[in-house]
Structure 1
Amino acid sequence: MIKNLFKNIGPGTLVAAAFIGPGTVTLCTLAGVNFGFNLLWAMVLSIVATIVLQEMAARLGIISQKGLSEVIKSEIKNPVINKIMLLLILSAIVVGNASYEAGNISGGILGLETLIGTSHIEVGSFSINVMSWVIGIIAFVLLYIGNYKFLERALITLVLLMSVSFIITAIVTKPNILEIIKGAFVPKSPEGSLLTIIGLIGTTVVPYNLFLHASLVKEKWSKKEDLKAVRKDTIVSIILGGLVSMAIIISAASITSGEVNNAADLAKSLAPLYGDFAKYFLGIGLFAAGITSAITAPLAAAYVAKGCFGWKDGLKSGKFRFVWAIILLLGVAFSSFGFKPIEIIKFAQVANGILLPVIAGVLLWVVNKRGVLGDFVNSKIQNAFGVVILITTIFLGIRGLDKVFGFGFF
């Protein structure tokens, strides 16, 4: 049974592992603490949008046997637009993931510290967090082995651990099922919730996952007959990821007092109400969320660089390893010293704010090209969903730019 489980699920789970990072966990925690079950519908909307876009990316990967950046490079014929697009992709994904990697590792640290306490080494005037290097070494070993099946199984195990941890925590809080259903399917926008709603969608519909998914499906499947398995894997994995995010919101909604700013605070707040085991489940979940994102972010960046530069070698090539190793090392260094490269993060936010609607638009264009997908182009229903999602991503992009530059649109 376990063998069949690992055989039938794969890249979709890695995508779920990528979007449930510490940022998502923190945002879901704040959504639950501040608005109860009222914003669960935003997660349901996000799940649907993510399934639609990721299915397109996965279908493109399996049919064309190319990564998304490779298809964009070959299909955009205008040399100026082509170079601008590739520069934007490299900036947003490679530089962006490098700047966010410290946050992924820091999230994993919060989970570990909830379980076993803190551990620092004083070097001169610096205080180095040992946990950063522990997580960095684990991520390095898993990536360096360079075997897709091994990496897939390791991440699936971590995602299942994360899922069980967060879902059990939600069950422990004994939520009102009827209120959960209402929150999930009756849209409400309480005062002051707009930015949280946009954030919930923005942390789930992630541009780098589109590149990651299109590249990963080729590692597992190679024939158009596998498309049914690809779709099943995508739908099941993303729904599971969405349920995890919803479980965090539900858990946080049970807290009615005290200051809660992240999942570690939530763990401490749950302990007096539901016992220490609630704290430990949440700590394990946060650790798993941090380490899975700490692995998938460098991996996605390496795949993007591979496609943009036309590298032919796979996971074990020196160039591929160099990209993910640099991103991982930067993340570990920034995290261990508690340094936040604000200007780099701002740049990444700007690049991602532009990239998400651009890539959603380009993806929608490419998956309607018979020269690329033949009979597997989008249906009218898929295009209708795609256009609605494209409009949403444009809105999210404007919101992201507004957040950085303070235009005052929101």
Structure 2
Amino acid sequence: MRDGSAWQFGKLGTEPSLGRMNGSVAVAGSGTWLRRLLAFLGPGYMVSVGYMDPGNWATDIAGGARFGYTLLAVILLSNLMAIVLQALAARLGIATGRDLAQACRDHYPRPVGLALWAACETAIIACDLAEVIGTAIALKLLFGLPLLWGVILTALDVLLILVLMQRGFRALEAFVIALLAIIFLCFGAQIALAAPPVRAVLAGFLPSPTIVTDPAALYIAIGILGATVMPHNLYLHSAIVQTRAYPRTEAGRRAALRFAVTDSTIALMLALFVNAAILIMAASVFHAAGRTDVEEIEQAHELLSPLLGVGLASTLFAVALLASGLNSTVTATLAGQIVMEGFLRLRLAPWLRRLLTRAVAVVPVVAVTALYGDQGTAKLLVLSQVVLSMQLPFAVIPLVRFVSDPAKMGALVIPGWLKGLSWAIAALIVALNLKLLADTVLGA
């Protein structure tokens, strides 16, 4: 055993997750609760990026435009499930000293581990695909840059990642938090401009029979739920919580877990605000004006300013989209590094890893844009979300299995009530993703 961890280190030896970044961020061993919490703030915000990336925007826009505030209850439920699963990912990393990729490699036979790695790499590429498209659309909306050139320009973010990683993990977190603040402020301003009726908004957070009885509402609700938990976020969170230099003892781990869960819960409440704000904006602007046909990001951008009568509204929308795309770049790169090192023990320079991942995402987008134009790119965005849905069970099920096993988790194994809740959430998410996949394939 190592440092009191219950899980025997086998094939992985003692290699820490994220290498030199592991335990690189100092934390206060004493002082006020707030001072100690501040040292742990950061990983949760990096994880929250995946819950408000460009891939989620179209679903929220369509839900608000077509059904008003009704689907806010679905966004709330999605967020609560995400809080539970991300807390489990943090618990795994802190309790065992492993990230989810390392845990899978150490537990499963090599062929199974390789299959899980291939599935996760596919999901990361699909996520990167959504980021490329979202960032390119934002550049087009803000600067009039043709979509094809915007896609090519996104490849330059390799330089940004290289600079940030050289400056340490706190620099990565600061960059992410700064862009999250921009997204938050942009949507805060848009909500203020839209001035939605407070009573109707609050009523939307209560479950409505329409969600189940109306097939179209149910389909969008499944899309919101199915795209909520990004597979790579679970791998990411289980690794980055270990960047804190907390004592690797039982008491140290318990304290670290409390602060890590607080951090991720606060950050995911921010994600709840952003996703809810997108839907509220669509409901108060498009649905209220009878434009229930609005479904795409560019369509929403075009109509926002005319319907609100404020030219700044569309600009704020595009700025938030650009910040979302850039932010997702950092987390996807880091997740790719964690997955490759955890499953294969293969270490690549961050710039090379990013270049390879981004090239795989850029090439199909360039080809589709050149051949089919913007409409083809929109369909590719939908396809990327379907691919993500396909991979999700292969991340959620191992995670819940590991944190439920006292032989692996020791004193930090989850209690019985949380185990039951976690399996119920996993089953629901898997079922909804399979339903979404089946409906997409069958053209429902």
TM range (shorter): 0.7 to 0.9
Structure 1 residues 251-299: Cα deviation after superposition (integer angstroms, max 9, x where no partner): 0112134553323321221102241111111111111111222332232
Distance 1:105 1:150 in 2: 23
Kindly indicate whether residue 127 of structure 2 is the aligned counterpart of residue 94 of structure 1: no
Match of 2:314 in 1: 279
After TM superposition, list the pairs within 5 Å mapping 1:264-275 onto structure 2. 264-272=298-306, 273-275=308-310
- Alignment partners' CA distance in 1, 2:50 and 2:359: 18
Relative to 1, partners in 2 of residues 1:201 and 1:143: Cα closer, same or farther, differing over 3 Å?
farther
Give the deviation of 1:132 after TM superposition.
Answer: 2.8
Q: Write the mapping of 1:12-51 to structure 2, written as runs, cut at 5 A.
A: 12-51=44-83
- Indicate whether 1:376 and 2:426 are aligned: no
Alignment deviations for residues 9-62 of structure 1 (CA, whole Å, 9 cap, x no partner): 211111111221111011111111111100000000000100000000011112
**Structure 2 residue corresponding to 1:83, chosen from 88, 101, 111:** 111
Residue 111 (structure 1) shift? 2.0
Q: CA contact under 8 A between 1:139 and 1:291: conserved in structure 2?
A: no
- Residues 1:327 and 2:363 are matched in the alignment: no
Whichever residue aligns with residue 315 of structure 2, its letter is Y
1:167 is aligned to: 188
Mapped partners of 1:342, 1:110: distance in 2: 10
Paired amino acid for 2:226? G
The answer to whether the Cα contact below 8 Å between 2:396 and 2:426 also exists between their aligned partners in 1 is yes
Which of 300, 304, 307 in structure 1 is aligned with 2:339?
Answer: 304
1:2-401 correspondence runs (5 A): 7-76=39-108, 79=109, 82-84=110-112, 86-119=113-146, 128-129=148-149, 131-143=150-162, 145-146=164-165, 147-187=168-208, 188-189=210-211, 190-223=214-247, 224=253, 225-253=255-283, 254-255=285-286, 256-258=289-291, 259-272=293-306, 273-311=308-346, 317-318=348-349, 320-337=350-367, 338=369, 352-401=388-437
Q: Bigger CA drift: 360-369 or 174-183?
A: 360-369
Question: Cα deviations across residues 68-97 of structure 1 (Å, max 9, x unaligned)?
Answer: 011122123xx3xx522x233222221232
Instruction: Give the secondary-structure state (helix, strand or coil) at the position aligned to 1:378.
Output: coil
Helix, strand or coil for the counterpart of 1:34? helix
Q: Where does residue 125 of structure 1 map in the other structure? A: none
Deviates more, 1:31-40 or 1:322-331: 322-331
How far apart are 1:170 and its partner, in Å?
A: 1.9
Instruction: Give the whole-Å Cα distance in 2 for the aligned partners of 1:104 and 1:309.
Output: 25
- In 2, Cα distance between equivalents of 1:52 and 1:65: 20
- For structure 2, the 5+ residue unaligned runs are 1-34, 248-252, 371-375
2:19 maps to which residue? none
Amino acid at match of 2:151: S
8 Å Cα contact 1:40-1:246 kept in structure 2 = yes
Flag the 1:88–1:20 CA change in 2: closer, same or farther, 3 A. farther
Range that drifts further, 351-360 or 41-50? 351-360
Structure 1 Cα separation of the partners of residues 196 and 381 of structure 2: 37
Q: TM-score, normalised by structure 1?
A: 0.86
What residue identity is the alignment partner of 2:136?
Answer: I
Q: Counterparts of 1:69 and 1:403 in 2: how far apart (Å)?
A: 30
Shift of 1:400: 4.1
Moved more, 143-152 or 169-178: 143-152
Instruction: Classify 1:180/1:139 alpha carbon distance in 2 versus 1 (closer, same or farther; 3 Å).
Output: farther
More off after superposition, 285-294 vs 143-152: 143-152
Indicate the larger mover: 288-297 or 226-235. 288-297
Separation of aligned partners in 2, 1:6 and 1:267: 37
Q: What is the alpha-carbon root mean square deviation over aligned residues? A: 2.8
- 1:381–1:143: structure 2 CA closer, same or farther, 3 Å change rule? farther
Distance in 2 between residues matched to 1:106 and 1:144, nearest whole Å? 23
What is the identity, as a one-letter code, of the residue corresponding to 1:361?
I
1:275 match: secondary structure = coil
- Give the conservation status (yes or no) of the 8 Å contact 1:294–1:328: no
Aligned counterpart, 2:4: none
TM-score under structure 2 length normalisation: 0.79
Which amino acid in 2 is paired with 1:368?
S
CA–CA distance in structure 1, aligned partners of residues 379 and 195 of structure 2: 43
Displacement after TM superposition at 1:351 (Å): 6.2
CA 1:139–1:37: 2 relative to 1, 3 Å: farther
Q: Which runs of 5+ in 1 are unaligned?
A: 121-127
Letter in structure 1 aligned against 2:132 = I
Q: Report the CA distance between 1:115 and its aligned residue.
A: 2.2
**Separation of aligned partners in 1, 2:45 and 2:439:** 30
- Aligned-partner Cα distance in 2 for 1:215–1:394: 23
Partner of 1:123: none
Structure 1: distance between partners of 2:81 and 2:61: 21
Q: Which has the larger displacement, 362-371 or 277-286? A: 362-371
Q: CA deviation at 1:100?
A: 3.8
Percent sequence identity over aligned pairs? 23
Q: Does structure 2 retain, via aligned residues, the 8 Å contact 1:99–1:341?
A: no
